[in-house]
Chains A and B, each alone.
Chain A
Amino acid sequence: METLEYTDVNAHVVARCKEGDRKAQYELYKLYSKSMFNVAMRITNDYTEAEDVLQESFLSAFRELHTFKGDSTFGSWLKRIVINKSITKVRSRRLQVVPMEDHQDFADEGPEVDQEDLEYKVESIKKAIQSLPDGYRVVLTLYLLEGYDHGEIADILSISEATSKSQYSRARKKLLELIQEQSFFS
Chain B
Amino acid sequence: MKDRLKDFVQAHREEFDSFAPRPDLWQDIAAELQQEEKKPVIPIETEQEAKVISINWHTAWRYAAAVALLVMVAFSARYYMNTQGASEAVATTQPVPLDKIAPELRQIETKYVRVIEKKKSELKAMGAGQVRFAELDSAYNELKKELYTTPNKEVLLQAMSDNLKMRIALLNQQLEVLENRSNVKAPARHETTNI
Interface residues of A (CB under 8 A from B): 19-23, 25-26, 29, 33-35, 37-38, 41-42, 47, 50-51, 54-55, 58-59, 62-63, 115-116, 120, 122, 125-126, 143-145, 172, 175-176
Contacts and interface: CB of A to CB of B under 8 A. Distances in A.
Given A47-B19, A63-B36, 15 more contacts: A19-B100, A22-B33, A22-B101, A26-B26, A33-B21, A37-B20, A50-B19, A51-B22, A55-B25, A55-B28, A122-B12, A122-B15, A125-B16, A145-B9, A145-B13
Chain B at the A interface: SS class: helix
B184 interface: no
Given A51-B21, A55-B25, A25 B9 contact: no
B125 interface: no
Given A51-B22, A175-B5, A38 B29 contact: no
Contacts of A51: 21-22, 25
Nearest to B3: A172
A63 B9 CA distance: 34
> Chain A interface mostly helix, strand, loop or mixed?
helix
Q: Which of B15, B17, B32, B154 has the most CB of A within 10 A?
A: B17
Interface residues of B, number: 31
B8 to A, nearest CB: 4
Contacts of B153: 22-23
B16 A126 contact: yes
Contact of B26 (A21, A29, A125, A172): A29
A115 B9 CA distance: 14
B37 interface: yes
B23 to A, nearest CB: 10
Contact of B5 (A23, A33, A35, A115): A115
Nearest to B9: A144
Contacts of B145: none
Interface string B36-79: 11000000000000000000000000000000000000000000
Given A19-B100, A54-B25, A145-B16, A59 B5 contact: no
